[in-house]
Amino acid sequence: MTEPTAPKGTTVVAEWVVKSPVLKGCSARAAAGFAAAAVALFALAPLALSDFRLGLLAKYLCTAMVAVGICLAWGRGGLLTLGQGVFFGLGGYAMAMHLKIADAGPGNLPDFMQLYGTATELPWWWRPFENPLFALAATVLLPMAVAAILGSFIFRRRVKGAYFAILSQALTAAFAIWLIGQQATTGGTNGLTDIQGFFGYDLNDPVNQRMVYFVIAAALLLLIALARQLIHSRYGELLVAVRDSEERVRFLGYNPANVKLVAYVVAAGMAGLAGALFVPAVGIISPAMIGIVPSIEFVIGAAVGGRASLVGAVLGAVGVAWAKTALSEEFPAAWTYFQGLLFIVALAFLPGGLASLVGIVRRRRAARAGGEPSPALPLGEAA
Amino acid sequence: MSELSGLEIRQLRVSFDGFTAVDGVDLDVRPGDLRFLIGPNGAGKTTLVDAVTGLVKAEGSVLFGGDELLGRSVHNIARSGIGRTFQTATVFEELTVLQNLDIAAGAGRGMLTMLRRRKGVPESVGRALETVGLAELADSPAGTLAHGQKQWLEIGMLLVQDVRLLLLDEPVAGMSHDERQATGELLERISEDRTVVVIEHDMDFMRSFARSVSVLHAGKVLSEGTVTEVQADPKVQAVYLGHAAVQDAELILAEPEA
């Protein structure tokens, strides 16, 4: 044996793990956080907000669902996903196609096809979406499948950094342009509009709108729990390792392409689900909601809040979406500039986003108290 | 522990855009050797290691334990038991020492293990922590380690990876005298049941710990043998060791190597 005085296996090692500040207290804090979030989303918000504002919040929460995926892929995996609009759109269109077919009723074509199209029956690629189960599954699985195919090409060829971001943007633009070009089958620039029902429930009824809000809130909490599990798993550690030193990971016998692919595909699935739930909340999906600008907006929210922190990314996404509504009501022209400024300021002066302020303040306070400055917890901020 | 394997390199050639960095190298490292690769800058030492680990394309043949390595991907070669370090220590700075080692241990892990939280770590991680002397620092972020400690962590990562061949690129660069000594003793212990190849510029370190030495010059093997044999080789004296060589050789004879 090369290694002398070997400790007796995992019992000794388990102590290190228990001592580890990363894990200690993490679960208790997380449980409390989830409880607080659930109370806020399911009790406080419905009581405090008007139906109109609650509808807006539902929309913001969809953005936050995309941000959860971005936190995983960008914050943890270093993949600047500037093209989440594609996956959001795939999920959204898959859902909207089914709802349009259902709205039209058996044997009828969706309204816009009667208006613009010459076809007398549904195009072949619309037909599977008549089935609600297929459509529901497709909202998540279709974006994931597309991400898996794209990702395996992109990561095997070792496209990374800015090139990856530009490629993502180009794909988003291409998808939006393609949708606009197919007016007879996708509704073109208008998109799929005026959606009335959601699996048999009338969306004009405020009670059902509330139900949609609750579904979205529950889905968001579910995605946060899922992302949290991934981030704190061994896979999550490996993902950070790939982000920080891809080459080194390769020499440990892993294929970094596969590690990144998992994060990319999961983030795509999350964006797809967000798009799918966005449709009943807003009643429309169109190329303008999934193109380059919305794709950048998804990232801005996560960047401002803190891309490596789940809480930060989610609150950032909701905050930026809310600010957009509030400011564009007051100053319609100024919002775009303000948003660009926000992004630059966040990335230049606070790369960890607002979430990193918590750590900075805590360390300052510890230093002032004369104690040892608490070390920057490598994964702790993700709680 | 896995059985010992040796490295057998035949007519290895690496060229970049017409420049031949490694030019027909034949090299045998017997199982369990602690081989030092020395040579002036640009001799092709690092490129040789790059070729063996799959980082650059090469012609010829590299057999490890009888298996051909050339033409395989980096992670594939790593999985067959070959590990390396780089001139600048590359550890995952944001992860703790323990997490770094745990990742190194896990290349063969299944999906379910990967998606769960780490409850304990493999025994090999605990042993490696002791071996490289970082047990006290298990929970420190690797970014806070001193330079020498990072190098030890890297060696520890190779140990939990259970590599049978360690290729170390200047492991003692920038280390203090005591750290060098500790590293050398560590390498001696490791090479009891693994094969170790060290690229080094530090001649004192080489004289203290090498079991065998290969001298590379301009992409070719210039000389090979024990430290004494190599130092006595007039070709080596001419290109590399210069005038001090004769005195050095006397020193070596005076205090036989460990």
Contact call for B95 and A237, based on CB within 8 A: yes
Cα B132 to the center of its chain, rounded Å: 15
Query: How distant is the Cα of B232 from the closest Cα of chain A, in angstroms?
Result: 33
Give rounded-to-5 percent helix, strand, coil for chain B: 40, 25, 35
Most A-contacting residue of B114, B168, B169 (CB-CB within 10 A), to test interface:
B114
pLDDT of residue B247: 54
The predicted structure's pLDDT at residue A125:
93
Number of domains in chain A: 1
A97, part of any domain: yes
Chain A residues with beta carbon closer than 8 angstroms to that of B109: 234
Residue in chain A nearest B83 by alpha carbon: A251
Domain-embedded: residue B246: no
Domain presence at residue B204:
yes
Task: Specify if A370 maps to a domain.
Answer: no
Q: CA-based angle B153:B158:B164, to the nearest 5?
A: 155
| Residue A173, φ and ψ in degrees, nearest 5 | -60, -45
Do A148 and A281 touch, CB atoms closer than 8 A?
A: no
Residue A204 maps to a domain: yes
Chain B nearest-CA distance from A178, in A, is 37
* Minimal Cβ distance to A3: which of B103, B109, B131: B131
A240, A246, A248: best to mutate for the B interface, most B CBs within 10 A: A248
Q: Does B115 sit within 8 Å of A238, measured CB to CB? A: no
Report the pLDDT value the prediction gives residue A370, as an integer from 0 to 100: 58
B130/A7 Cβ within 8 A? yes
How close B134 comes to chain A (CA, Å)?
12
Alpha-carbon distance B162 to nearest alpha carbon in chain A (angstroms): 10
Residue in B closest to A3 by C-alpha: B131
Tell me the mean pLDDT per 10 residues along chain A, length 383.
38 41 63 92 93 94 97 94 96 96 90 81 92 96 97 91 92 95 90 92 92 97 96 93 91 92 98 97 94 92 91 94 87 83 85 84 77 43 37
User: Does residue A265 lie within any of the structural domains?
Assistant: yes
Is residue A156 classed as helix, strand or coil in its secondary structure? Answer: helix
Instruction: From chain A, pick out residues whose CB is under 8 angstroms from the CB of B161.
Output: 252-253
Which range marks the domain in which residue B97 is found? Answer: 7-219
Q: Which of A216-230, A299-313, B202-216, B243-257 has the highest mean pLDDT?
A: A216-230
pLDDT of residue A300: 92
Tokens of A344: 């630059």
Q: Which residues of B touch A380 (CB under 8 A)?
A: none
Question: Would you say residue B84 lies in a domain?
Answer: yes
Q: Please indicate whether, in this complex, the C-beta atoms of B126 and A2 are within 8 angstroms of each other.
A: no
In a domain, B1, yes or no: no
Residues near A170 by Cβ (< 8 Å), separated by ≥ 6? A83
Q: Looking at the partner chain, which of B90, B109, B125 has a beta carbon nearest the beta carbon of A13?
A: B125
Within 8 A of B99 by CB-CB distance, chain A residues are 237, 378
Residue range of the domain that includes A212: 39-295
**How far away is chain B from the Cα of A75, in angstroms, using its nearest Cα?**
13
Closest Cα in chain A to B113:
A234
Asked whether residue B253 is domain-assigned, the answer is: no
Q: How many CB pairs under 8 A join A and B?
A: 146
Is A157 a domain residue? yes
3-state helix, strand, coil in chain A (%, to 5): 75, 0, 25
Which pairs from A331-339 meet CB under 8 Å and 24+ separation?
A339/A297, A339/A300
- Shortest Cα–Cα distance, B122 to chain A (Å): 7
Residue A43 lies in a domain: yes
- Residue from A1, A3, A239, A377 to probe the interface with B (highest B Cβ count within 10 Å): A3
Q: What is the CATH number of the domain that holds B155?
A: 3.40.50.300
**B98, B126, B161 member nearest A9 (Cβ):** B126
More confident residue, A315 or B250: A315
Predicted local confidence at residue A73, as pLDDT? 96
The residue with tokens 């070719």 is B220
Locate the chain B residue with the closest alpha carbon to A239.
B103
Chain A nearest C-alpha distance from B182 (Å): 14
**Cβ contacts of A379 on chain B, cutoff 8 Å:** 94-95
Within a domain: A289: yes
Q: Which residue of B has its CA nearest to A5?
A: B130
CB contact under 8 A, B103 and A230: no
Check CB contact under 8 Å for A20 and B139.
yes
User: Quick check: is B46 in a domain?
Assistant: yes
Asked if B193 lies within 8 A of A2 by C-beta distance, the reply is yes
SS3 (DSSP) at B140? coil
Q: Chain A residue with minimal CA distance to B105?
A: A252
Alpha helices for A182-334 (secondary structure H): 183-186, 206-232, 234-244, 246-251, 256-282, 292-305, 310-330
Angle subtended by helix axes B177-190 and B147-160, to nearest 10? 10
Q: CA B164, CA B6: separation in Å to the nearest integer?
A: 9
Strand ranges (E), chain B? 7-16, 19-29, 34-38, 59-64, 67-68, 82-84, 165-169, 195-199, 212-217, 220-225
A237–B138: do the CB atoms touch at under 8 Å? no
Q: In total, how many domains does chain B have?
A: 1
Q: Name which of A2, A252, A379 is nearest B161 (Cβ-Cβ).
A: A252
Selecting from B104, B114, B123 the residue whose C-beta is nearest the C-beta of A235 gives B114
Q: Which residues of A touch B75 (CB under 8 A)?
A: 250-256
How far A245 CA sits from the closest chain B CA (Å)?
7
Question: What pTM did the predictor assign?
Answer: 0.84
CA distance B125 to B134: 11
Torsion of CA A209, A294, A163, A226, to 10 degrees: -20
Cβ pair B78:A252 closer than 8 A: yes
* Contacting residues of B for A13, CB less than 8 Å apart: 120-121, 123, 125-126
**What tokens appear for A27 in the block?**
């679960």
B-interface mutation test, from A16, A251, A259, most B Cβ less than 10 A away: A251
Question: What local confidence, expressed as pLDDT, does residue A199 receive?
Answer: 93
Q: Is A355 part of any domain? A: no
Chain B residues with CB inside 8 Å of A241's CB? 92, 95, 100, 103
The mean per-residue pLDDT over the stretch B217-242 comes to: 83
Residue A88: per-residue pLDDT:
98
In whole angstroms, what separates CA A196 from the centre of its chain? 26
